[in-house]
């Protein structure tokens, strides 16, 4: 039987443990067993196995410890008290050592005994073979068992895309409805130990991403004298980022997969921000990200995929992503993002400042010019000097900024805004892209005048229409709606305006003050939506929760604009949250105030590790140094 019955709900993740080496990930209980909807072995966006458990003489071991030795290795320790002598001391224990690689997972089962006598036991591993697309898992739809071909010492299953092989030397392997039973008869020596191993290998002929062959390109920063908590966070973050590295199939250019389990592939916005936040430590991932996205830059107008000339892609998948409950059907190459294109230009400018060579920069200038032209010709679809978005396909994302859930853009009273939508932070990205893009063009003898003029017009327009007021004074609205009205909710989006050059000194001060005010700053980071708003809820995905990368972007902007005290305040909040999550910062967490809860409440469906959440550690390191 399968690991779970379909519920029609997205699986919860908060109490699961994950080991990964992109594009493979393994989710389980802290005991190592797999029994909940998320649990299983995934390779290249397909779950290939689930319902894992170990039996010794028909009994399940009693778990006592989970040791996360690295992003790609976890050891689970359990007791075998059915074999013990009398007394309180445990005499026999089982270690399950799980090591994940890019094309599968290896397990070593080790029974250790201090008993003065030998013992013979039956050691059994049960595993459900399946071939379930990740979007089916995400929506809670039913999985289907795979047809398995079992043989002594192994088994195989697959379809037109994925082929899987289980190898278990010396084991008897049987299968019924895809449920594999791998068994050994083992002799445990007196005061000794015995090991058995099995491996699951997978190959996907439809794969679009692959594991890099080279080690991580960065060198860990000097942490001597740093807060011990910060040292631990940075070390774990870099380990997770190493495990999230990917290349496109056939390429050596590296980028970060956005996050596990749902976004284990190239995402334009996410991969750009992760590389950008990590840039103080590493330039190579930035260069690889720039090149990868330039290769996929739009060349034609296709409403079904949202592709447009010069546009940077949103995501790449092995197959169409279907989310029927949301009315979403995204093609394998999907361009539905309004912010990735200006962010790509900003990343190129950052890379140049960090030492990207003349030759490497010049190679990317055609992509730069195409990206700037997209902002003018397509991003500003109605010619009002601002960038806006709308889903033309009817099956794409209704919101196409980083807050891409259906209820992320709302008025102060909780009413949803009607699109096309012009987001505040996107205007800041576009302003920075145009001004710094002009600098890059002029460095190589090209004319940047048009883009300086374009940016100045955008800044004037932003100042005219985006600023609103409440009892506490002025602040930027989250967006303009279809009628060009300023959507007046107070949100974390304003933090992304800092450091871009869009705001003057007085405006920057107003934003900085708002970011550290109690309505936004929860003490564990910045809330996505301020308390007192009609739609606020601390566990709303984009309506009151806290995202580490979102707060990190604000910290980065505060630091750039000279608000070091505010940057430190928010950094300390993120650091407190990192401790609570054992230094693996999730995609998001609850927005409850630190005065009300002793630790942040998990958002139960949050991905982890998430590349831009991990990279937030580097921003905090910089702010607290």
Rounded average pLDDT over 258-286: 97
Residue 1 confidence (pLDDT): 41
As a whole number of angstroms, the distance between CA 23 and CA 266 comes to 11
Rounded average pLDDT over 112-133: 97
As a whole number of angstroms, the distance between CA 371 and CA 382 comes to 18
Q: What is the pLDDT of residues 381-393, one digit of tens each?
A: 999 999 999 898 8
Q: What is the pLDDT of residues 445-461, one digit of tens each?
A: 999 999 999 999 999 99
Q: What is the pLDDT of residues 510-532, one digit of tens each?
A: 999 999 999 999 999 999 999 99
Residue 272 confidence (pLDDT): 98
**How many CB atoms lie under 10 A from the CB of residue 110?**
16
Residue 6 has pLDDT above 90, yes or no: no
Residue 108 confidence (pLDDT): 98
* % the chain with pLDDT above 90: 94
Residue 438 confidence (pLDDT): 98
Q: What is the pLDDT of residues 335-367, one digit of tens each?
A: 999 999 999 999 999 999 999 999 999 999 999
CB-based contact 508:498 (threshold 8 Å): yes
Residue 4 has pLDDT above 80, yes or no: no
CB-based contact 251:28 (threshold 8 Å): no
Rounded average pLDDT over 463-488: 97
CB-based contact 548:613 (threshold 8 Å): yes
Rounded average pLDDT over 292-313: 97
Q: What is the pLDDT of residues 127-151, one digit of tens each?
A: 999 999 999 999 999 898 999 999 9
Residue 7 confidence (pLDDT): 65
Provide the mean pLDDT of the chain.
96
Residue 144 confidence (pLDDT): 87
Q: What is the pLDDT of residues 557-607, one digit of tens each?
A: 999 999 999 999 999 999 999 999 999 999 999 999 999 999 999 999 999
Domain coordinates in residue numbering, the chain? 17-204, 209-624
Residue 437 has pLDDT above 50, yes or no: yes
Q: Please tell me whether the overall predicted TM-score, pTM, comes out greater than 0.75 for this model.
A: yes
Question: What is the DSSP-derived secondary structure letter of residue 53?
Answer: E
DSSP H/E element including 274: helix 268-278
Q: Which fold has domain 17-204?
A: Beta-galactosidase; Chain A, domain 5 (2.70.98)
Pick the CATH number of 209-624 from 3.40.50.2000, 1.50.10.10, 3.80.10.10, 3.40.50.2300: 1.50.10.10
The total number of residues written for the chain in this structure? 625
Question: What is the DSSP-derived secondary structure letter of residue 11?
Answer: P
Residue 510 confidence (pLDDT): 98
Residue 80 has pLDDT above 90, yes or no: yes
Q: What is the pLDDT of residues 84-93, one digit of tens each?
A: 998 899 999 9
Tokens matching residue 483: 């009628």
Rounded average pLDDT over 195-223: 96
Residue 301 confidence (pLDDT): 97
Residue with the two structure tokens 């990964």: 20
Which of 441 and 9 is assigned the larger pLDDT?
441
Q: What is the pLDDT of residues 316-333, one digit of tens each?
A: 999 999 888 788 899 999
Residue 394 confidence (pLDDT): 87
* % the chain with pLDDT above 70: 99
As a whole number of angstroms, the distance between CA 611 and CA 277 comes to 10
Q: What is the pLDDT of residues 147-177, one digit of tens each?
A: 999 999 999 999 999 999 999 999 999 999 9
CB-based contact 3:39 (threshold 8 Å): yes
Rounded average pLDDT over 26-48: 97
Residue 324 confidence (pLDDT): 84
Q: Name every residue whose Cβ is closer than 8 Å to that of residue 118 and which is 6 or more positions away in sequence.
A: 187, 188, 189, 190
Residue 217 confidence (pLDDT): 97
Residue 2 confidence (pLDDT): 45
Q: Provide the total of helices (H) and of strands (E) in the chain, helices listed first.
A: 13, 27
**How many CB atoms lie under 10 A from the CB of residue 127?**
29
């Amino acid at each position: 039987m399968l690991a779970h019955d379909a519920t029609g709900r997205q699986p919860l993740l908060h109490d699961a443990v994950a080991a990964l080496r992109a594009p493979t990930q393994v989710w389980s209980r802290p005991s190592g067993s797999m029994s909940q909807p998320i649990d299983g072995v995934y390779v290249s966006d397909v779950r290939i196995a689930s319902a894992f458990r170990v039996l010794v003489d028909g009994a399940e071991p009693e778990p006592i410890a989970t040791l996360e030795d690295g992003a790609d290795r976890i050891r689970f320790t359990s007791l075998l008290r059915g074999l013990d002598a009398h007394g309180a001391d445990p005499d026999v224990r089982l270690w399950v050592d799980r090591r994940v690689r890019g094309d599968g997972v290896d397990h070593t089962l080790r029974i250790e005994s201090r008993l003065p006598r030998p013992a013979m036991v039956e050691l059994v591993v049960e595993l459900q073979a399946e071939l379930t697309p990740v979007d089916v898992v995400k929506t809670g739809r039913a999985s289907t068992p795979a047809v398995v071909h079992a043989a002594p010492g192994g088994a195989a299953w697959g379809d037109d895309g994925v082929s899987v092989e289980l190898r278990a030397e010396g084991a008897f392997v049987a299968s019924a409805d895809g449920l594999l039973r791998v068994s050994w008869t083992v002799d445990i020596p007196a005061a000794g130990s015995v090991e058995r191993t099995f491996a699951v290998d997978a190959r996907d002929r439809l794969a679009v991403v692959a594991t890099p062959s080279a080690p991580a390109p960065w060198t860990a920063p000097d942490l001597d004298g740093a807060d011990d908590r910060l040292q631990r966070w940075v070390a774990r973050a870099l380990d997770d980022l190493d495990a999230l590295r990917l290349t496109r199939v056939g390429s050596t250019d590296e980028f970060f997969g956005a996050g596990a389990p749902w976004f284990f592939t190239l995402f334009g916005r996410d991969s750009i921000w992760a590389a950008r936040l990590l840039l103080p430590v590493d330039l190579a991932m930035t260069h690889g990200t720039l090149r990868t996205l330039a290769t996929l830059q739009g060349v034609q107008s296709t409403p079904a995929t949202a592709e447009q000339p010069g546009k940077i892609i949103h995501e790449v998948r092995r197959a169409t992503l279907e989310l029927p409950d949301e009315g979403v059907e995204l093609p394998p190459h999907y361009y539905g993002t309004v912010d990735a294109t200006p962010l790509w230009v900003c990343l190129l400018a950052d890379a140049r400042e960090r030492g990207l060579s003349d030759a490497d920069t010049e190679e990317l200038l055609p992509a730069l010019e195409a990206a700037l032209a997209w902002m003018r010709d397509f991003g500003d679809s109605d010619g009002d000097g601002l960038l806006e978005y709308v889903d033309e396909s009817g099956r794409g994302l209704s919101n196409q900024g980083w807050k891409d859930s259906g209820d992320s853009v709302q008025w102060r009273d909780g009413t949803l805004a009607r699109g096309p939508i012009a987001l505040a932070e996107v205007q800041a990205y576009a302003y920075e892209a145009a001004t710094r893009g002009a600098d890059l063009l002029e460095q190589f003898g090209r004319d940047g005048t048009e883009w300086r003029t374009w940016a100045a017009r955008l800044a004037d327009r932003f100042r005219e229409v985006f600023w609103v007021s409440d009892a506490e004074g002025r602040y930027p609205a989250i967006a303009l709606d279809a009628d060009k009205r300023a959507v007046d909710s107070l949100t974390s989006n304003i933090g992304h305006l800092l450091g871009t050059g869009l705001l003057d000194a007085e405006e920057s001060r107003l934003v900085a003050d708002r970011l550290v005010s109690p309505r936004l700053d929860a003490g564990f980071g910045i809330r996505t939506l301020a308390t007192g708003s009609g739609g606020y809820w601390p566990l709303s995905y984009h309506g009151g929760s806290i995202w580490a990368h979102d707060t990190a972007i604000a910290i980065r902007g505060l630091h750039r604009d000279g608000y070091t005290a505010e940057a430190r305040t928010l950094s300390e909040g993120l650091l407190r949250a990192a401790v609570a999550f054992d230094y693996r910062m999730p995609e998001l967490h609850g927005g409850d105030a630190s005065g009300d809860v002793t630790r942040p409440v998990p958002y139960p469906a949050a991905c982890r590790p998430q590349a831009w959440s991990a990279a937030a550690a580097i921003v905090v390191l910089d702010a607290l140094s």
